[in-house]
Amino acid sequence: MRLICLSVNYENSKLADRAGLWEDEKTLRLMLDGGPLSELLPIHTCNRTELYGIISEGSELPSDSIPSCADILTGKDVVEHLLRVLLGLESMACGESFVVSQVKKEYDRYSPLCGRILNRLFQRSFNLAGILRTEYHPGRAPSIPWLMGQAIKDHPAWPSPRIALIGAGDMGTETAKVLKAMGLPFSVSNRTEKTGRSLAEEAGADWIPWERWKDLTETSDVLIFATSSPEPLLSEIAGGNRPWIIDMGAIPQVEVPGLKRISVDELKDRTLEILDDYRRHLGKLEEETDEAAQALWADLTTVRTDTYRRLAMMRVGHIVDERAARTAQKTGASEEILRQMAWSVAKGILSPVLEMNSPHSSRIWRALSEEERS
């Protein structure tokens, strides 16, 4: 089983490098239909864009399909990486839990491109990650919106900056929770009024209709953009107000020169400082994640081992039947007795392999199952 993951993440790329990568389903299907992969699943989160796949027998991924900045993981390393992603251990906001819902949405969206192995990998990983988080997580989880909230504390108007939140999707909802927890009043605007009004009411914020959100640029100290707009929403600001821009869009939401703009990319160095002590409390979780990855990898390879084992034993059965019938014709002995004797000999020879239960046994069963071998 040639399991692979191409990871383009906040550590090896900028948001612009990840925008649009592995999103077009037609292009993805070309990688399956006669392409190098037999299964694949892309995931897109705030911090990363990744492609998980099973390389088809006798195929290789063409080099021009692999981004130059991508980290390439294979085998057990892919399993451990996925568990670490689901546990937030690979996130900029280490230990965060928001990533789980993002990955699940991607799995639901692209699962038709998966086969038996990737379905099993992701379903088991969701389950294991939930158990590990419950048992070993220290109990407090930062997030990208939380880190953005810490950045607001540097604003000259702190502790009473005027804040406007543009967007009420998943990221906007999480941001509203952070702002409410920090005791900061703010306004909300969203393209879909029902969703935006609901969030504003829940967070105790002011609701601003979408057609009026640009008015907030003249009255706000901080504008937080949490939309999924495929193009910038703001290209100019009337008047002399120069608000801070906190931009959580995968594609930059603001193109106004001269404004202080804090994006996910700009948070990287600050995050290392803020969360340095917190990371040390994740040590036990990381140890258990490594153990869980080894167990899950063994489980995945055992599935393939069982397949090769069945093929090998079927081939042994054909050989036993053939030899028993041939010998019975030559000697006149009972074919059934000869078959039982032959099976006893075959099982005796194979007994060391039959008792093995490790990922390495897959190679042995595969060799025994191949037709050209005697």
Predicted confidence (pLDDT) per residue in 120-155, tens digit:
999 999 999 998 888 888 776 678 888 888 889 999
Higher pLDDT, 183 or 347: 183
**pLDDT of amino acid 373:** 37
Does the pLDDT of residue 285 top 60, yes or no?
A: yes
Higher pLDDT, 134 or 196: 196
Range list of β-strands (E), 201-347: 206-207, 222-225, 244-247, 261-263
SS3 call for 159: coil
Q: Which parts are annotated binding residues for NADP(+)?
A: 167-172
Pick from 140-154, 173-187, 195-209, 292-306: least confident: 292-306
Q: Are strands 3-9 and 71-74 parallel, antiparallel or unpaired?
A: antiparallel
| Residue ranges, CATH 3.30.460.30, the chain | 3-141
Compute the average pLDDT of residues 36-54: 93
Q: What is the pLDDT of residues 157-167, one digit of tens each?
A: 999 999 999 99
**pLDDT of amino acid 257:** 87
CB atoms under 10 Å from CB of 34, counted, come to 8
Q: Do the Cβ atoms of 205 and 186 come closer than 8 Å?
A: yes
**Most confident listed range (51-60, 292-301, 363-372):** 51-60
**pLDDT of amino acid 117:** 92
Tokens of 298: 């063994």
Which residues are registered as beta bridge partners of 244?
222
CA–CA gap between residue 277 and residue 291 (Å, rounded): 24
Confidence of residue 35 (pLDDT cuts 50, 70, 90): confident
Higher pLDDT, 69 or 343: 69
Fold for the domain defined by 144-268: Rossmann fold (3.40.50)
Catalytic, out of 5, 46, 94, 114: 46
**pLDDT of amino acid 306:** 62
**pLDDT of amino acid 119:** 95
Does the pLDDT of residue 106 top 90, yes or no?
A: yes
Q: Which parts are annotated binding residues for substrate?
A: 45-48, 91, 102
**pLDDT of amino acid 180:** 94
Confidence of residue 97 (pLDDT cuts 50, 70, 90): confident
For a pLDDT cut of 90, what percent of the chain falls above it?
A: 45
Tokens of 281: 């409390």
Higher pLDDT, 240 or 153: 153
* Residue of 71, 6, 284 lying closest to 292 (CA atoms): 284
Fold for the domain defined by 3-141: Beta Polymerase; domain 2 (3.30.460)
Cα of 98 vs its chain's centroid, Å: 12
Look up 5 and say whether it is catalytic. Answer: no
Q: What share of the chain is helix, strand, coil (3-state, %, to 5)?
A: 50, 15, 35
Does the pLDDT of residue 41 top 90, yes or no?
A: yes
| Residue ranges, CATH 3.40.50.720, the chain | 144-268
Compute the average pLDDT of residues 171-177: 92
Does the pLDDT of residue 187 top 70, yes or no?
A: yes
**pLDDT of amino acid 372:** 41
Q: Between the CA of residue 229 and those of 41, 200, 266, what are the distances in Å? A: 23, 20, 20
Q: Which residue has the tokens 């948001």?
A: 15
Higher pLDDT, 371 or 288: 288
CA–CA gap between residue 144 and residue 333 (Å, rounded): 78
Q: Would you call 355 exposed, middle or buried from its count of C-beta atoms within 10 A (0-12, 13-18, 19+)?
A: exposed
Higher pLDDT, 231 or 250: 231
**pLDDT of amino acid 374:** 36
Q: Give every strand in the sheet of 48-55, ordered side by side.
A: 37-44, 48-55, 3-9, 71-74
Q: Which parts are annotated binding residues?
A: 45-48, 91, 102, 167-172
Compute the average pLDDT of residues 163-178: 93
Confidence of residue 271 (pLDDT cuts 50, 70, 90): confident
**pLDDT of amino acid 308:** 62
